[in-house]
């Protein structure tokens, strides 16, 4: 029976363990399924919410999502809202590629201020010292121009007025041209067996003859197809090599004349390289064969990469015996050498009708020359010359922008033609082409192109600068467009491509290292989690055994009370081991207790959470209570103290000893404190609960610590006398756990900080921080202030049906995102007829276009670039509100929420927030005393304190403050202010930041101040201080954020705004940070001390003196009659005038004209006939046809084109006489110098 009983017990134990394992497996599966439910796809989450929502008003829509809340910044002062992305892109490019541009980065606010800078005119005139663009604007344009002009890619689109079909290609420096031509001809365009071509036997004289004919192609323009084809046909008629003949036929059949020219030059260069014996007499046979083999190997390697070559020469081409005249008939040329595509003429239309004439682009290879073009040199300007200088950059920027824009127009035409050819559509007619070309600017730069079809800010800016206009006469949008087009050209440059390619390689390595560090961090986290689970299982086992032993001891004691089998001393002396060995049944039950692996995941997870809670409060036992339970405990404790006090009897009648008296006094004091707490704690606890909730939504360490500190002050935790541990409010428990998690995340971020910085330095492109459920994007720029996050929100069409207008109180909290399809687009619409094929049905076309339009807007109703609403979150409350309202159950918003928390933590650690910089000590004092609430800020009633602030101002020596400006102003609330904040200070000067805002509230704060006067004399303590209440006013800034102003700062800001708004004479913010910018990387404008004046007439006078000295000394010895430097004293008078009086443009212009006349006489002048009429230079310049023939400079160095004719000199002097900028005068001086 005993054996049977033991067997049954073992079987029972086995079944129990099997049940425990099954239960554990089931619980683990259910918990994993529950825990892995979120985050889910945003579309699925929105479907779930739609199914659960009681009404449509409860749903989050695109117009009521967190991104749609009114931002702190939604526009830049002086710029329209639709320009925000262009401003950000331009500024981000200049900061990101600062090393390549040799340009120190600048703050976004300073960039906008520099871009929108307008000098103040006094009495209708400008101060020459201030009527110049800010230094940063000049440095940025010079940096971009140098990058573009130094890059080989600009050779493709830079042209000169002196270029002709015969001279194109020989205008640039010989060395640069040779390198460019060599690189351009290395790439083959037609696949051919080079070994067979070189092995073909041909008379060396014939080979040299056709090679000489091909060399003529090198000097021809690619646009002159007729001339290129004639030269190649001449070579083809001479050649006896069948491989060469077939190759040239393929080249003549090329789609474009550029293809034909490059193919012919490639063959000529390879033949010259492989056959040095044609030009040199003493070439050994072995050396010749070795050179041939080298060329064959190089060409074969290049040919191996041409897998998809459309043009190739095969054996069939050699053996086919095609007639030489076939290619003549197939060449489609017009008399001007332009490519012609003959469109089909509609039925009933005449082929001679202009409407259906063959396509001839109205965009010529180069546009008509402007005044700037007439002054520029024949070749591309050299970066080291005076052509690229602080004087000339506006005019040179206009010339460069016109060339880039012209290139983009032609490229757009090529894209249109390629699309139509790909979709088998007929070529456009002349009328269709001209309609498209009329809107090309809107298709090239759509972002800034909003308005009338013919209203292009970019073209207006280019035309203005090319005509010699002042850069400051451009409006901010035109300036932005000018910089944008230069940056677009820079993006196409080889230098930027090299940087991006190098960064990509370095970034790949940095990302690998970062991923390794992340894997190590995840591995460590898993190990810590496993260790925590192991400790939790051991604690569960320990608790189960402890409880078993306690229950068994109690059972033994109860049994012994009935049986009296053992003495009380024996029972009390029983150890744990004695209890386990008490009998067989107890031992079996103890052995059947669950082991570490017997507990399911739910039990382990709960124990891990409990252990983490205890660790967070640094205690062995933690009791979590609700607010009701806390109040119940405190009430019970108060009742117990009152009961104990009553137990002493009538305290007035009873005589007590000293100890009892102390106990009574202590009880009375504790009771009074408890009653006071009943009155004061509820409000503080309510505030602490709200702070804890907000901090947990915020998730940052600083917010959590501040909230926990406030909760401790509100007595939401304390020592637990019952357990010997601690008790805490449930919200405080959650906040403490969140703080531990945030600190863990911070440790991980700190460990990866260097690797992240290394990765971010390897810039490829700026990526968004994340997206929300509606695919709105959130951005943070590396060079921006860390506390700024930009939101890019899609507008919603009114007729979409998914975005009803926001009504009620919510309307004041959300941006109006509703638009119609007619107002949503910007720029020119896409030419969608190019995307469809002729045989498609209307239904197919409609479906295709709806999908393709989603590239612009998700509705599929807009065929052009769609507007988006941009805004910036700059203040901590707006950040917290955004983070709080994101739903981390969705995959996109969960990831975005984490990124925002990390960014907010970084912004706090770097102390970059402007609000945090305002009177830190006063703010901390308020926060400690609970005074930093909105309710403390009053919105009216400051009349008496404002009056007192005005009376307390000492105006001695102040050029800004004047009480006359404030007459009639009784209150500061509602008044606009111009706040000056010193951000940097040196021995010589201060650098300040100016912000405009409006006063929207005030309050009193307590500060300590040193006691002075008689009161200090009466007191022996020389450092005596007292606490006084002073008023401060809150200013809401236009750029986002707020500042608190003292009485003096308020009066100063009010007077400063009035002077700034009225443009008072003498008021100029010359210490503004954007005006004090100096470029330490490049110094494109010269010395830092002279950078602000680098383009003034005074600096031009220095250049005039320098150039005159360099020109006069060589010329004076070649002239018989020297009326300039002789006894007349003209030269000395001219020099003295420039040194002493050249402070305005008119003096500099007259000095240049005087110098031109002097040099003209020194060089002998132009022989004139008495009957020669005086040329009318103004009419020549105004005539676009005549302007094409104007040449103020000759390619031939032996020809003095400027004084080669009376017309050219008259035109030069007319340009100088009508010049209104130092840039044009500097260009004219450089032309005169050349």
- State the Cα–Cα distance between residues 536 and 45, nearest whole angstrom: 35
Looking at residue 394, what is its pLDDT? 95
Listed range (86-95, 501-510, 917-926) with the worst mean pLDDT:
917-926
- State the Cα–Cα distance between residues 498 and 153, nearest whole angstrom: 12
Going by their DSSP bridges, the two strands 726-729 and 622-625 should be labelled as parallel
At residue 965, the 3 state secondary structure works out as helix
Nearest to 115 by CA among 1075, 929, 1019: 1075
pTM for this structure?
A: 0.73
- State pLDDT tens for residues 91-104: 999 998 998 999 99
Structure tokens at 274: 């492989």
Whether 1098 contacts 1142, CB under 8 Å: yes
Q: Where are the alpha helices (DSSP H) in 386-444?
A: 393-422, 430-438, 440-444
- Please, which residues bridge with residue 1035 across strands? 999, 1043
Whether 507 contacts 755, CB under 8 Å: no
Average the pLDDT over 1011-1016 and give the result.
58
Looking at residue 346, what is its pLDDT? 46
Looking at residue 469, what is its pLDDT? 93
DSSP 369: P
- Whole-number Cα distances in Å, 367 to 18, 352, 807, 990, 1190: 90, 27, 54, 48, 14
Q: Which of 793-807, 809-823, 1115-1129 has the highest mean pLDDT?
A: 809-823
User: Could you tell me what percent of the chain has a pLDDT over 90?
Assistant: 18
Residues with Cβ < 8 Å from 839, sequence gap 6 or more?
none
Confidence of residue 510 (pLDDT cuts 50, 70, 90): confident
- State pLDDT tens for residues 466-492: 999 999 999 999 999 999 999 999 999
Looking at residue 358, what is its pLDDT? 45
Average the pLDDT over 1092-1109 and give the result.
91
Residue 20 has pLDDT above 50, yes or no: yes
- Please, which residues bridge with residue 1045 across strands? 1033
Confidence of residue 521 (pLDDT cuts 50, 70, 90): confident
At residue 184, the 3 state secondary structure works out as helix
Looking at residue 594, what is its pLDDT? 84
- Whole-number Cα distances in Å, 889 to 64, 776, 777, 885: 18, 17, 18, 12
Residue 122 has pLDDT above 60, yes or no: no
Residue 554 has pLDDT above 50, yes or no: yes
Going by their DSSP bridges, the two strands 825-826 and 865-866 should be labelled as antiparallel
Looking at residue 391, what is its pLDDT? 93
Average the pLDDT over 885-908 and give the result.
84
- State pLDDT tens for residues 52-100: 776 555 678 888 899 999 898 888 888 888 889 999 999 999 998 998 9
Whether 824 contacts 795, CB under 8 Å: yes
Residue 553 has pLDDT above 50, yes or no: yes
- State the Cα–Cα distance between residues 421 and 343, nearest whole angstrom: 12
**902: part of which helix (H) or strand (E)?**
helix 891-909
Looking at residue 355, what is its pLDDT? 47
Residue 1068 has pLDDT above 50, yes or no: yes
Backbone angles phi, psi at 498, to 5 degrees: -65, -45
Confidence of residue 1033 (pLDDT cuts 50, 70, 90): very high
Residue 733 has pLDDT above 70, yes or no: yes
At residue 1044, the 3 state secondary structure works out as strand
- State the Cα–Cα distance between residues 808 and 805, nearest whole angstrom: 10
Looking at residue 601, what is its pLDDT? 81
Average model confidence (pLDDT) across the chain:
80
Looking at residue 450, what is its pLDDT? 58
- Whole-number Cα distances in Å, 782 to 93, 98, 747, 1018, 1178: 11, 13, 22, 58, 52
Choose between 1083 and 917: higher pLDDT.
1083
Residue 827 has pLDDT above 70, yes or no: yes
Whether 738 contacts 696, CB under 8 Å: yes
Confidence of residue 327 (pLDDT cuts 50, 70, 90): very low
- State pLDDT tens for residues 157-207: 898 876 654 444 433 333 333 333 433 445 678 888 888 888 888 888 788
Listed range (122-131, 260-269, 646-655, 719-728) with the worst mean pLDDT:
122-131
Choose between 129 and 983: higher pLDDT.
983
Residue 923 has pLDDT above 60, yes or no: no
Looking at residue 482, what is its pLDDT? 94
Angle subtended at Cα 1096 by Cα 1210 and Cα 1138, rounded to the nearest 5 degrees? 65
- State the Cα–Cα distance between residues 201 and 196, nearest whole angstrom: 10
Residue 1032 has pLDDT above 90, yes or no: yes
Average the pLDDT over 780-785 and give the result.
80
CB atoms within 10 A of CB 19: 10
Looking at residue 187, what is its pLDDT? 65
Residue 764 has pLDDT above 70, yes or no: yes
Whether 385 contacts 435, CB under 8 Å: no
Angle subtended at Cα 539 by Cα 537 and Cα 544, rounded to the nearest 5 degrees? 95
Looking at residue 254, what is its pLDDT? 79
Instruction: Give DSSP secondary structure letters for 918-962.
Output: S-HHHHHHHHHHT--SGGGSBSS--HHHHHHHHHT---TT-SS--
Listed range (212-221, 444-453, 469-478, 793-802) with the worst mean pLDDT:
444-453
Average the pLDDT over 245-252 and give the result.
87
Looking at residue 908, what is its pLDDT? 63
Looking at residue 757, what is its pLDDT? 77
Angle subtended at Cα 1226 by Cα 1220 and Cα 1230, rounded to the nearest 5 degrees? 140
Residues with Cβ < 8 Å from 500, sequence gap 6 or more?
763, 764
Looking at residue 1028, what is its pLDDT? 84
Residues with Cβ < 8 Å from 455, sequence gap 6 or more?
none
Residues with Cβ < 8 Å from 602, sequence gap 6 or more?
27, 28, 31
- State the Cα–Cα distance between residues 1080 and 480, nearest whole angstrom: 24
Residue 918 has pLDDT above 90, yes or no: no
Cα distance between the two ends of the chain: 125
- Please, which residues bridge with residue 624 across strands? 728
Residue 28 has pLDDT above 70, yes or no: no
Structure tokens at 246: 């077939």
**1032: part of which helix (H) or strand (E)?**
strand 1025-1037
Average the pLDDT over 733-740 and give the result.
88
Residue 705 has pLDDT above 70, yes or no: yes
Looking at residue 121, what is its pLDDT? 66
Confidence of residue 400 (pLDDT cuts 50, 70, 90): very high
Average the pLDDT over 10-29 and give the result.
73
- State pLDDT tens for residues 421-438: 888 888 888 788 888 888
Looking at residue 1024, what is its pLDDT? 67
Looking at residue 447, what is its pLDDT? 64
The CB-based long-range contact list for 1107-1116 (8 Å cut-off, 24+ gap) reads 1107/1229, 1107/1232, 1107/1233, 1108/1134, 1108/1135, 1108/1155, 1110/1233, 1111/1159, 1111/1233, 1112/1162, 1115/1159, 1115/1162, 1115/1163, 1116/1162
Task: Count Cβ neighbours within 10 Å for each residue of 548-580 and write b for 16 or more, e otherwise.
Answer: bbeebbeebeeeeeeeeeeeeeeeeebeeeebb
Listed range (614-628, 769-783, 932-946, 947-961) with the worst mean pLDDT:
932-946
Residue 341 has pLDDT above 70, yes or no: no
Residue 958 has pLDDT above 50, yes or no: yes
Whether 724 contacts 614, CB under 8 Å: no
Residues with Cβ < 8 Å from 462, sequence gap 6 or more?
398, 401, 402, 405, 482
Burial class of residue 1003 in the structure, from the number of CB atoms within 10 Å of its CB (0-12 exposed, 13-18 middle, 19+ buried): buried
Instruction: Give DSSP secondary structure letters for 782-819.
Output: TTS-TT-EEEEEE-EEGGGSS-PPP-GGGGGTB---EE
């Amino acid at each position: 029976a005993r054996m049977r009983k033991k067997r049954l017990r073992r079987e029972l134990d086995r079944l129990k363990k099997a049940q425990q394992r099954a239960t554990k497996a089931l619980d683990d599966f259910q918990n994993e399924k529950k825990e892995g439910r979120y985050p889910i796809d945003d579309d699925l989450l929105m479907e779930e919410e739609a199914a659960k929502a009681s009404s449509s008003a409860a749903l989050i829509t695109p117009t009521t999502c967190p991104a749609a809340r009114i931002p702190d910044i939604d526009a830049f002062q002086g710029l329209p809202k639709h320009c925000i992305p262009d401003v950000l892109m331009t500024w981000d490019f200049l900061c990101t590629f600062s090393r390549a541009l040799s340009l120190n980065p600048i703050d976004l606010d300073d960039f906008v201020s520099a871009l929108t800078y307008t000098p103040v005119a006094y009495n209708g005139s400008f101060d020459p010292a201030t009527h110049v663009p800010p230094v940063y604007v000049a440095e940025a344009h010079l940096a971009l121009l140098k990058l573009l002009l130094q890059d080989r890619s600009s050779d493709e689109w830079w042209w000169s007025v002196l270029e002709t079909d015969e001279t194109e290609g020989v205008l640039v420096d010989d060395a640069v041209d040779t390198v460019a031509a060599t690189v351009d001809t290395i790439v083959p365009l037609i696949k051919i067996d080079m070994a067979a071509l070189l092995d073909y036997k041909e008379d060396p004289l014939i080979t040299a003859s056709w090679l000489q004919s091909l060399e003529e192609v090198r000097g021809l323009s690619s646009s002159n197809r007729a001339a290129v084809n004639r030269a190649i046909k001449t070579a083809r008629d001479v050649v006896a090599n069948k491989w060469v003949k077939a190759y040239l036929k393929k080249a003549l059949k090329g789609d474009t004349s550029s293809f034909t020219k490059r193919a012919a030059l490639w063959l000529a260069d390879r033949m010259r390289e492989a056959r040095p014996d044609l030009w040199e007499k003493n070439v050994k046979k072995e050396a010749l064969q070795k050179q041939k083999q080298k060329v064959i190997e190089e060409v074969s390697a290049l040919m191996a990469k041409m897998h998809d070559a459309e043009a190739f020469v095969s054996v069939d081409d050699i053996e086919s015996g095609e007639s030489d005249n076939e290619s003549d008939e197939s060449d489609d040329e017009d008399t001007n050498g332009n490519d012609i595509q003959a469109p089909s003429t509609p039925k009933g239309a005449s082929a001679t009708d202009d409407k259906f004439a063959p396509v001839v682009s109205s965009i010529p290879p180069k546009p008509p020359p402007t005044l700037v073009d007439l002054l520029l040199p024949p070749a591309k300007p050299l970066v080291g010359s005076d052509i690229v200088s602080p004087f000339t950059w506006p005019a040179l920027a206009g010339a460069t922008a016109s060339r880039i824009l012209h290139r983009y127009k032609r490229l757009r035409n090529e894209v249109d033609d390629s699309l139509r050819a790909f979709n088998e559509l007929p070529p456009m007619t002349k009328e269709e082409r001209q309609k498209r070309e009329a809107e090309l600017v809107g298709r090239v730069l759509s972002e800034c192109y909003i308005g009338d079809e013919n209203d292009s800010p970019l073209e207006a800016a280019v035309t203005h600068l090319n005509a010699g206009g002042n850069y400051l006469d451009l409006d901010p949008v035109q300036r932005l467009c000018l910089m944008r087009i230069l940056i677009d050209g820079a993006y196409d440059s080889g230098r930027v491509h090299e940087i991006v390619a190098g960064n990509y390689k370095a970034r790949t390595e940095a990302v690998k290292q970062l991923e390794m560090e992340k894997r190590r961090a995840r591995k460590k986290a898993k190990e810590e989690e496993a260790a925590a689970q192991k400790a939790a299982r051991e604690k569960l086992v320990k608790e189960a055994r402890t409880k078993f032993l306690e229950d068994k001891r109690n059972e033994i004691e109860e049994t012994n009370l009935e049986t009296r089998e053992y003495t009380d001393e024996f029972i009390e002396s029983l150890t744990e081991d004695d209890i386990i060995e008490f009998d067989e049944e107890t031992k079996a039950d103890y052995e059947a207790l669950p082991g570490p692996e017997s507990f399911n995941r739910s039990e382990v997870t709960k124990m891990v959470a409990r252990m983490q809670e205890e660790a967070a409060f640094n205690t062995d036992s933690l009791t979590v209570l609700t607010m009701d339970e806390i109040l119940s405990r405190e009430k019970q404790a108060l009742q117990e103290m009152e009961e104990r006090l009553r137990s002493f009897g009538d305290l007035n009648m009873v005589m007590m000893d000293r100890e009892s008296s102390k106990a009574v006094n202590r009880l009375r004091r504790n009771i009074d404190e408890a009653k006071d707490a009943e009155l004061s704690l509820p409000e503080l606890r309510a505030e602490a609960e709200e702070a804890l909730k907000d901090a947990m939504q915020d998730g940052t360490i600083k917010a959590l610590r501040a909230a926990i500190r406030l909760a401790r002050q509100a007595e939401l935790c304390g020592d637990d006398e019952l357990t010997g541990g601690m008790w805490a409010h449930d919200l405080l428990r959650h906040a403490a756990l969140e703080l531990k998690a945030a600190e863990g995340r911070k440790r991980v971020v700190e460990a990866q900080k260097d690797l992240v910085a290394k990765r971010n330095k390897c810039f490829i492109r700026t990526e968004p921080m994340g997206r929300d459920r509606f695919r709105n994007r959130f951005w943070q720029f590396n060079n921006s202030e860390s506390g700024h996050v930009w939101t890019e929100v899609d507008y919603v069409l009114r007729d979409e049906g998914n975005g009803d207008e926001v009504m009620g109180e919510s309307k004041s909290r959300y941006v109006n995102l509703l638009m119609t399809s007619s107002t949503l687009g910007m720029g020119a619409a896409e030419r969608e007829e190019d995307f469809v094929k002729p045989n498609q049905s209307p239904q197919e076309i409609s479906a295709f276009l709806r999908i393709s339009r989603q590239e612009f807007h998700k509705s599929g109703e807009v065929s052009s670039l769609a507007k988006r609403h941009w805004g910036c979150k700059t203040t901590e409350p707006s950040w917290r509100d955004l983070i709080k309202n994101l739903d981390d159950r969705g995959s996109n918003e969960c990831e975005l929420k984490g990124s925002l928390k990390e960014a907010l933590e970084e912004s706090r650690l770097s102390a970059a927030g402007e609000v945090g910089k305002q009177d830190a000590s006063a703010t901390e004092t308020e926060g400690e005393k609970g005074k930093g609430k909105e309710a403390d800020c009053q919105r009216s009633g400051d009349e008496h304190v404002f009056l007192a602030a005005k009376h307390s101002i000492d105006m001695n020596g102040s050029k800004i403050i004047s009480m006359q400006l404030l007459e009639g102003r009784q209150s500061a609330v509602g008044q606009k202010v111009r706040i000056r904040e010193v951000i940097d200070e040196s021995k010589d000067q201060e650098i300040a930041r100016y912000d405009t805002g409006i006063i929207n509230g005030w309050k009193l704060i307590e500060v300590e101040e040193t006691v002075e006067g008689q009161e200090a004399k009466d007191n022996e303590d020389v450092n005596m201080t007292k606490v006084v209440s002073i008023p401060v006013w809150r200013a809401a800034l236009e750029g986002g954020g707020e500042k608190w102003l003292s009485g003096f700062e308020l009066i100063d800001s009010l007077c400063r705004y009035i002077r700034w708004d009225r443009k008072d004479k003498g008021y100029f913010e010359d210490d503004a940070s954007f005006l004090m910018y100096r470029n330490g990387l490049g110094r494109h404008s010269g010395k830092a001390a002279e950078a602000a004046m680098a383009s003034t007439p005074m600096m031009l006078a220095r250049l005039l003196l320098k150039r005159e000295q360099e020109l006069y000394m060589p010329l004076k010895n070649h002239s018989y009659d020297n009326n300039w430097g002789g006894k007349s004293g003209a030269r000395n008078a001219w020099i003295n005038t420039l040194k002493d009086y050249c402070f305005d443009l008119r003096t500099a212009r007259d000095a240049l004209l005087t110098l031109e006349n002097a040099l003209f006489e020194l060089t002998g002048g132009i022989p004139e006939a008495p009957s020669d009429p005086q040329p009318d230079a103004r009419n020549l310049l105004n005539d676009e046809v005549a302007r094409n023939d104007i040449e103020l400079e000759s390619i031939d160095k032996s020809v003095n084109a400027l004084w080669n004719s009376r017309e050219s000199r008259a035109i030069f002097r007319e340009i100088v006489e009508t010049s209104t900028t130092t840039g044009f005068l500097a260009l004219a001086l450089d032309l005169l110098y050349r």
